[in-house]
Amino acid sequence: MAAADDTVTVVGGGVAGLVAARRIARTGRPVRLLEASGRLGGTLARQRVGDIELDAGAESFATRGGTVAALAAELGLGDQVVAPLDAPAWLYRADGSAIPLPATSVLGIPAAPLAADVIAAVGLGAALRAQLDSLIPALKPRPDATLGAVVRRRMGRGMLRRLVTPVVQGVHSADPDELLLERAVPGLAHRLAGRGSLAAAVRDLRADAPPGSAVRGIRGGVNRLVTELVADLVALGVDIRLDSRVESPAAVDGPLVWAAPLAPVGRSITLATLVLDAPELDAAPRGTGALVDPDARTVAARALTHSTAKWEWLAERAEGRHVVRLSYDDPPELLAEAARLDAAALLGVELPASAVVDFARITWTRPAPAASPAGVLVVGESVAGSGIAGVVAHANRAVDEWLVAHDPGTAGDPDPDPAIGPDPATDPDPDAA
């Protein structure tokens, strides 16, 4: 597939591809966007369940750096950015009980291992072991160090298994041993080397973050970003072609931005959405939702988001009904029934079959991390990790560097936080897909 003249070909129409195409087109360069499927936006999609328009994938974004909020403002959605309910998520433990997540933590890593809420979550023995973190000599972790390896070494297996793992699986849809430390929590490795302990590094990160700044959403759904991005691309004259699969970067002649997966897909995530007529949920008994201890055997879900408790705009649209979303790594065969039973257990209420107004399921596959081919500009989850904020920030920075290299003076606005990754919030499933 040859690109005429100096047309820049962007392969992949997910959010990274849309952002990259827009950023290049705004410099006046001709752009062609090729998407293998029949729609744009990737995991920023919508679905109708119980006659309510909902996000089918990611429903919120990290606020660190202001990257996505700035994009929303550029697209005319600045006044539509909204904060979630200020309520803690809960931890569903292996014994079937549930407690609020510790208040002062980052991705489940506690700032004070001997705090009462941490001991309640992991037990006194695991908390005492985690406190030894303050005595272990601090060395800056290697660039390839995983979050799991660092937490296990400094705070022990109990803290990793009982608190960090359920939070990481809920937030990043990944195992801590598969997630690079710097990708999971940008800046944590540097803070650890400087402060001498993991807990102190977490305290520093929390002190630097304004209260209530972890995540935001968009009234009507985060998927509105795609609608406005596409409208901008059309206005800028971008040549958008759906159902146009490109097998490899070598198949494209001329300037290229690769925004499609580089490697075979990694983890699959199935989301089950229930619309419920359940007055028992009016009091939001488990706040914005629950994360699940990996040793819990009474539920198959790994996380639940009580969406109508999390988002005021959605509660208004639901008109007294409740929307909950559960995520599964290995969904049961009879998912609708399993989701109802799991929701009842995780929310601590009775949910008879008659309470279910509607049900929907969708499965997303996430690309495995991969190295960029030599000489190819690559954006998207394969290189940026999960999370809208991280993907957008990486695409901004990568495209600007490419523009400067090819035509100095044409780069877009500077990225306010080029190292941003997914926000280490303890909200369940803030960027599920």
Contacts with 210 (C-beta within 8 Å, 6 or more apart), sequence order? none
Does residue 162 contact residue 122 with C-beta atoms inside 8 Å? yes
Residue 315 lies in a domain: yes
Q: Coil, helix or strand for 292?
A: strand
Of 357 and 204, the structure prediction assigns the larger pLDDT to 357
**Rounded to 5 degrees, what are φ and ψ at 354?**
-70, -15
What pLDDT digit, counting tens, does each position of 218-228 carry? 999 999 999 99
Residue 415 lies in a domain: no
Measured CA distances, 142 to 146, 167, 190, 193 (Å): 9, 23, 11, 11
Average pLDDT, the chain: 89
The CATH number that applies at residue 190 is: 1.10.3110.10
**Please, how many CA atoms are within 13 Å of residue 144, restricted to the half-sphere of its CB?**
1
Verify that 332 and 242 share a domain, yes or no.
Answer: no
Residue 88 lies in a domain: no
Verify that 388 and 251 share a domain, yes or no.
Answer: yes
> Is the pLDDT confidence value at 428 over 90?
no
Mean of pLDDT values over 394-408: 90
Q: How many structural domains comprise the chain?
A: 3
> Is the pLDDT confidence value at 148 over 90?
yes
Q: Give residue 431's pLDDT.
A: 41
Verify that 180 and 230 share a domain, yes or no.
Answer: no
Verify that 39 and 65 share a domain, yes or no.
Answer: yes
Verify that 177 and 194 share a domain, yes or no.
Answer: yes
Verify that 107 and 179 share a domain, yes or no.
Answer: yes
The CATH number that applies at residue 20 is: 3.50.50.60
> Is the pLDDT confidence value at 412 over 70?
no
Verify that 290 and 243 share a domain, yes or no.
Answer: no
Verify that 329 and 293 share a domain, yes or no.
Answer: yes
Residue 423 lies in a domain: no
> Is the pLDDT confidence value at 406 over 50?
yes
Verify that 286 and 344 share a domain, yes or no.
Answer: yes
Mean of pLDDT values over 28-40: 97
What pLDDT digit, counting tens, does each position of 235-268 carry? 999 999 999 999 999 999 999 999 998 876 677 8
Verify that 226 and 355 share a domain, yes or no.
Answer: no
- For residues 36-73, one letter each, b for 16 or more C-beta atoms within 10 angstroms of the residue's C-beta and e for the rest, the string is eeeebbbbbbbbebbebebbbbbbbbbbbbbbbbbbbe
Q: Give residue 138's pLDDT.
A: 78
Mean of pLDDT values over 86-111: 91
Contacts with 109 (C-beta within 8 Å, 6 or more apart), sequence order? 151, 155, 159, 163, 164, 185, 198, 199, 202
Question: In which domain, by residue range, is 117 found?
Answer: 102-136+144-208
Verify that 161 and 194 share a domain, yes or no.
Answer: yes
Q: Give residue 359's pLDDT.
A: 98
Verify that 203 and 115 share a domain, yes or no.
Answer: yes
